[in-house]
Amino acid sequence: MIKHLEDLRKDTVSEFRGGKGVIQMTHFLDVEKDEFKGKGRLFAKNVLKPGTSIGLHEHVGDSETYVILSGEGLVNDNGDQKVVKPGDVIITRNGEKHSITNTGTFDLEFLALILFD
C-alpha cells in the first residue's frame, strides 16, 4: 500500500494539551480506519511554528515517542528541561509526563508515535 501526501489526513489544533499556538498534524495511519489494528492511536508528523508548544500531559495506558526531524526545541521530560535537535528521540512511557516547545526561529518538525501498553 502506498499513501500519497495529498491523501493523508491533516489537522490543525489550537492550544494542544494546554500549549500555545496552533500545531499542524499530518496523520500517516488512521485510527478510524483501524490501521493500527488496536495497537496504537497516533503516527503523525507534527509541525510547531516558533513559540508554539504542546502542553505538559501524562500518558496513561500508552507510550509516545518523538523523533525530531528539523528545528530545535525544549522538552519537559518528567520535570527535566532538555534541549532537542534533529535526530534526537524522546520516549515517554506509561505514567510519565512531557511537553515540547519550539524555542527556535524555524519550524520544529517531528514524528510522533503513540502505542498502547
Distance (Å, whole) CA 106 – CA 48: 9
Per-residue pLDDT at 74: 99
- Give the percent of the chain with pLDDT over 90: 98
Residue 38 in grid coordinates:
488496536
- Tell me the pLDDT of the chain averaged across its residues: 98
Model confidence pLDDT, tens digit, residues 54-102: 999 999 999 999 999 999 999 999 999 999 999 999 999 999 999 999 9
Q: Please tell me the predicted confidence (pLDDT) of residue 19.
A: 98
3-class SS shares of the chain: helix, strand, coil, % to 5: 10, 55, 35
Domains and CATH numbers, the chain: 5-116 (2.60.120.10)
Q: What is the pLDDT of residue 71?
A: 99
Q: What is the pTM of this model?
A: 0.95
DSSP code of residue 78: T
| Average pLDDT, integer, range 40-54 | 99
What does DSSP assign to residue 37? T
Nearest-angstrom CA–CA distance, 99 and 107: 16
Q: So what's the pLDDT on residue 57?
A: 98
Choose among 42, 44, 117, 58: nearest CA to 92: 58
In DSSP terms, 14 is beta-bridged to 22
d(CA 1, CA 19) in angstroms, rounded, equals 35
